[in-house]
Chain A
Amino acid sequence: MRALPFVVLAFVVTLTAALVGVVTAPSAVPGIPNSPAAVGVGISVLRGVFYLAALVLLGVHLLPALRAAKAGTQPIAACAALILGASALGQLVLQSADFRPERPVTLASIGEYVALVDAGKAQVFLFALAVALAVLAVLDARRGGGIAPTLPLLLSGATVLVLPLVGHAIDQPDWRGRLGIVAMELHVLGALVWTGGLLAVLFSARDPAAVVLDRFSTVAGICLALVAVTGVCFGLLQLDAVPGIPWYIALFRNDYGLLLCAKLVCALALSGIGTAMRYRVLPGVLSGARGGFARLAVVELAVMGLAIGFAVVLTRTPLQQ
């Protein structure tokens, strides 16, 4: 089944986001309105859905780079774009509910939220990008594949670059602010090109050609290094900015630090899997033996799903407890 790798990934991402979201939900503070824990968990899960849709878009639009046919993939791209748009709207509603816990959500309150908070504007922008991507997919189908793959690929890449700009990144006027944003952009891009590329490879053929695997393995190695370096740098910059507690203690004391450790473990597991892929599976495929790749690749996707599930919770987790 060609959809199986994606189903595994989707299952792991949403389940991890929901479970970790529930476990790390902040406790209610007495005497002031708190939003129900479900709102926070919902935001994390929808952010997971957003990344899943973005991964499908990236994967589909990376197919030409793998010399695989994109014929027949337009409905997939269109649905993924629409799901991405819906997840942006959903996050917008929940974020404005979280903004004013004791008030009902109305169109006016959403408008006010968007006007006040950049994270709201970002979701509106994402919705517009999603609509553009859906329209492109429809046009492509109607013209029998007439749209050059570069534009939708760039737009899909742009979707994942929006949220880090309005997220946890540091606002220090010095070098740390800039470095934080660039690190986060590279982190998310590296993680999603890697995961989306793997999805595309698995989707492109039953037994992907050895050249494709070889090239992908190189890209994966670069992405792993990039993701690990940027993730560790950004995480430590964040922890270092917490007043009154040294970062190496915060690393093991609060949810943010513990989630960082969990992601580091995921990255270690991924490097193990990648090594096995490169030095065990690839030589086999090169010498004509089949199989082995797909199974290991699905395990790899599951670990990536864990890392993404942790990420969508991490990005809402307070640095202080």
Chain B
Amino acid sequence: MKRALLLAALVLGLTGLTAPAFAHNTFVGSSPGNGATVGSSPKQVSVTFGEPVQQGENRISVLGPDGHSQWQAQRLATVDGDSVRVPLRELGPAGRYTIAYRVISADGHPVSGTATFTLSAPGHGTPAAPEQAGQSDTGGGVPVWVWAVGVVVLLAVAIGLALRLTRPVRK
């Protein structure tokens, strides 16, 4: 009983100390609006969420009607409270463009999805050069599985040591 009370006190203490934590973010809307039609190339694209977006690797790509040409003018999106935005190149062919986003919610979870808009009159722009494939894979880091092996080896050594140390002392 005493322990239960102590634990309960601990819970309330911990929760009282921290500010409310963070939700998984939810898509609220985009600009141009999801499904909207625009007559000329917008200067930027933004996506709005239900809660603040974490600074970090937030992405918005705008894909052309062909489904793979990219039209955003900046690699990372700029965070602005609840929304993120990227400047846009001048758009090209008329048709349906896809806004693809992946942002980090305040709880650290990535949230991704798509919205679309239609360009009714063609512009004069050209898409961005495709990102150099594979270029980012060699930043001197190691693949995730090497980390996994490292953690497992560390664990095995630690367990071996612990089993030795906890062996009953013989008198």
Whether A242 contacts B26 by the Cβ 8 Å rule is: yes
Closest approach, in angstroms, between the C-beta of B154 and any C-beta of chain A? 7
Query: How distant is the Cα of A161 from the Cα of B109 in the complex, in angstroms?
Result: 19
Query: How distant is the Cα of A294 from the Cα of B21 in the complex, in angstroms?
Result: 40
Q: Which residue of B lies closest to A73 (CB)?
A: B166
Digitize B50-82: 1 where CB-to-A-CB distance is under 8 Å, 0 elsewhere: 111011110111110001101000000000000
For residue A264, CB closer than 8 A to chain B, the reply is: no
Whether A158 contacts B10 by the Cβ 8 Å rule is: yes
Q: A interface, by DSSP: helix, strand, loop or mixed? A: helix
**Known A-B contacts A75-B163, A104-B137; A154 and B10 likewise in contact (beta carbons under 8 Å):** yes
Digitize A18-48: 1 where CB-to-B-CB distance is under 8 Å, 0 elsewhere: 0000000010011111110001000000000
Which residues of chain A come closer than 8 Å to B70, judged between CB atoms?
31
For residue A275, CB closer than 8 A to chain B, the reply is: no
Whether B14 contacts A161 by the Cβ 8 Å rule is: yes
Whether B20 contacts A170 by the Cβ 8 Å rule is: yes
Instruction: Spot the interface stretch: B35-43, B88-96, B118-126, B140-148.
Output: B140-148
Which residues of chain A come closer than 8 Å to B107, judged between CB atoms?
118-119, 166-169
Digitize A93-121: 1 where CB-to-B-CB distance is under 8 Å, 0 elsewhere: 11101111111111001000000111110
Whether A39 contacts B144 by the Cβ 8 Å rule is: yes
Whether B23 contacts A168 by the Cβ 8 Å rule is: yes
Residues 191 to 218 of chain A near chain B (Cβ within 8 Å) = 193
Query: How distant is the Cα of A79 from the Cα of B158 in the complex, in angstroms?
Result: 8
Whether B163 contacts A116 by the Cβ 8 Å rule is: no
Digitize B131-163: 1 where CB-to-A-CB distance is under 8 Å, 0 elsewhere: 000001111111110011001101100110011
Whether B110 contacts A35 by the Cβ 8 Å rule is: yes
Q: Which of B21, B61, B138 contacts A169 (CB 8 A)?
A: B21
Which residues of chain A come closer than 8 Å to B84, judged between CB atoms?
none
**Known A-B contacts A78-B163, A157-B10, A172-B20; A31 and B61 likewise in contact (beta carbons under 8 Å):** yes
For residue A83, CB closer than 8 A to chain B, the reply is: yes
Whether B152 contacts A141 by the Cβ 8 Å rule is: no
Whether A241 contacts B50 by the Cβ 8 Å rule is: yes
Query: How distant is the Cα of A241 from the Cα of B49 in the complex, in angstroms?
Result: 12
Which residues of chain B come closer than 8 Å to A74, judged between CB atoms?
166
Whether B141 contacts A109 by the Cβ 8 Å rule is: yes
For residue A288, CB closer than 8 A to chain B, the reply is: no
Q: B interface, by DSSP: helix, strand, loop or mixed? A: mixed
Which residues of chain A come closer than 8 Å to B60, judged between CB atoms?
32
**Known A-B contacts A93-B148, A161-B11, A165-B15; A30 and B98 likewise in contact (beta carbons under 8 Å):** yes
Whether A166 contacts B108 by the Cβ 8 Å rule is: yes
Closest approach, in angstroms, between the C-beta of A193 and any C-beta of chain B? 8
Which residues of chain B come closer than 8 Å to A185, judged between CB atoms?
11, 14-15
**Known A-B contacts A170-B23, A319-B26; A29 and B114 likewise in contact (beta carbons under 8 Å):** yes
Digitize A114-147: 1 where CB-to-B-CB distance is under 8 Å, 0 elsewhere: 0011111000000000000010011001101000
Whether A103 contacts B136 by the Cβ 8 Å rule is: yes
Whether A97 contacts B144 by the Cβ 8 Å rule is: yes
Query: How distant is the Cα of A65 from the Cα of B26 in the complex, in angstroms?
Result: 44
Instruction: Spot the interface stretch: A2-10, A176-184, A278-286, A297-305.
Output: A176-184
Query: How distant is the Cα of A41 from the Cα of B62 in the complex, in angstroms?
Result: 28
Q: A165-B18, A168-B23, A181-B18 are in contact. List 18 more A-B contacts (CB 8 A).
A: A32-B102, A72-B168, A86-B155, A89-B151, A93-B147, A99-B56, A118-B107, A118-B108, A138-B165, A171-B21, A171-B22, A171-B23, A182-B15, A185-B14, A189-B7, A319-B23, A319-B24, A320-B113
